[in-house]
Amino acid sequence: MQKYSMQFDKIHNRIGTNSDKWDSLQSLYGLSPNEAIPMWVADMDFEAPEAVTNCIREMAEQGIYGYAREDDTYRQAIVSWMQRRHQWQIQPDTVLSVHGIVNAIALAIQAYTQPGDGIIIFSPVYHAFSRVIKASQRSLVESPLVKDSIGKYKMDLDATANLLTGNEKMLILCSPHNPGGRVWSVQELEQVAEFAERHNLLIVSDEIHHDLVYDGYIHTPFEKAVPSARPYLMTLTSTTKTFNIAGMHTGNVIISDEKRREKFKKTLQALAISPSSFGVAMTSAAYNGGDEWLDQLLIYLAQNYELFNRRIHQINGLISMPLESTYLCWVDYRSLNMSLSQYKQKIESQSKVAASYGDAFGTGGEGHLRFNIAMPRQLLDSALDRVQTAFESV
């Protein structure tokens, strides 16, 4: 186990590796990657599990990179993981491969809705949702999340109902939630299911962060929480966030209802979506050999969060939302009455720490920042030193 702690502590030089996280700092933030610390895009500065690296090495040694199948090994790896880690029993034939979760959402929109149809999201939420909805010429329906008495997000379905025009066809749920880190309870999922059934909506449950849940919280897959929702539910999962292999662009679409699954398959065929040989191999390797690595990662991330939370709350005016899952911390700086442009001028240019801007996540995101804490602790500590110095000089 010690080897994983040492592995997570290792600082890697990713500059010049075509890393979006590091090599886009200059173009997006005006910051030199040699001076700045990126805490924005959701990938981790950790090596993937050895099982995944060995898989890639074996493929390279073979030297042939032909077409791949969604074979029994691939599907069984997914089925076994869901049963082992989430006590969720799925059937192999319900699993379809796509080129990532955002791709899956785009395909679902094409398969089940028409231009002009309304699609509901609970904002602030992962910015790709609204981007894909708008690009598909569908109508974006933003239902603002509200904060409870301890500062955690919750859904207001009564308010959501008041937004409906009768033309809505789909509801996209981020579960666990990004950027708020909420793990939705079974009761909350039941309420969403009842709402969707009442309004004849398809639920697309994005569960990409389902493995990254901290002690004291349990992620329940939507289908496990509400089996009766199967006729109007599709679940999206992936190894990409869990094992830091997002560059492979492979995700799993799980549709138990046969008619809905066949319709989705036709869309895959119409748009010529076929499996990635690297994605199939890496998914199988990660699920079959990544348990211990993930267990240790969760311990390391929890310690990073403890550090981040303590340091952020030492800065007057900043409030970090309690984190139940993900490695993404959502910080509210609205009490400082600072505009985004003022933040960029006074804080970002001084600290040279790049966080994600809250307004990108939609209604309710204004005055917030999302910080990615999945990095070696020494680097995180350094970033927090910079942030603290910058904010205290305001």
pLDDT of 1: 52
Read off the pLDDT of residues 127-181 as tens digits, 9 standing for 90 and up: 999 999 999 999 999 999 999 999 999 999 999 999 999 999 999 999 999 999 9
**How far is it, in rounded angstroms, from Cα 102 to Cα 83?**
24
pLDDT of 3: 74
pLDDT at 25 over 80: yes
pLDDT at 243 over 90: yes
pLDDT of 28: 96
pLDDT at 186 over 80: yes
Average of per-residue pLDDT across 215-241: 98
Higher pLDDT, 331 or 393: 331
CATH code for residues 65-289 = 3.40.640.10
pLDDT of 2: 64
**Bridge pairing between strands 328-332 and 353-357:** unpaired
Taking all residues of the chain, what is their mean pLDDT, rounded to a whole number? 96
Residue ranges of the domains in the chain? 2-49+291-392, 65-289
pLDDT of 5: 75
Does CATH place domain 2-49+291-392 in 3.40.50.720? no
Read off the pLDDT of residues 310-329 as tens digits, 9 standing for 90 and up: 999 999 999 999 999 999 99
Average of per-residue pLDDT across 54-68: 94
pLDDT at 115 over 90: yes
Quick one: 272 exposed, middle or buried, by C-beta within 10 A (0-12, 13-18, 19+)? exposed
353-357: strand order across its sheet? 37-39, 353-357, 368-372, 328-332, 319-320
Q: What confidence tier does 71 reach under pLDDT thresholds 50, 70, 90?
A: confident
Percent of the chain with pLDDT strictly greater than 90: 96
Cis peptide before 176 (omega within 30 of 0): yes
Closest CA to 163 of 147, 182, 140: 140
Quick one: 197 exposed, middle or buried, by C-beta within 10 A (0-12, 13-18, 19+)? middle
Q: What confidence tier does 4 reach under pLDDT thresholds 50, 70, 90?
A: confident
Read off the pLDDT of residues 187-225 as tens digits, 9 standing for 90 and up: 999 999 999 999 999 999 999 999 999 999 999 999 999
Helix, strand or coil, per DSSP, at residue 186: helix
Q: Kindly report whether the global pTM for this prediction surpasses the value 0.95.
A: yes
Read off the pLDDT of residues 256-311 as tens digits, 9 standing for 90 and up: 999 999 999 999 999 999 999 999 999 999 999 999 999 999 999 999 999 999 99
pLDDT of 70: 87
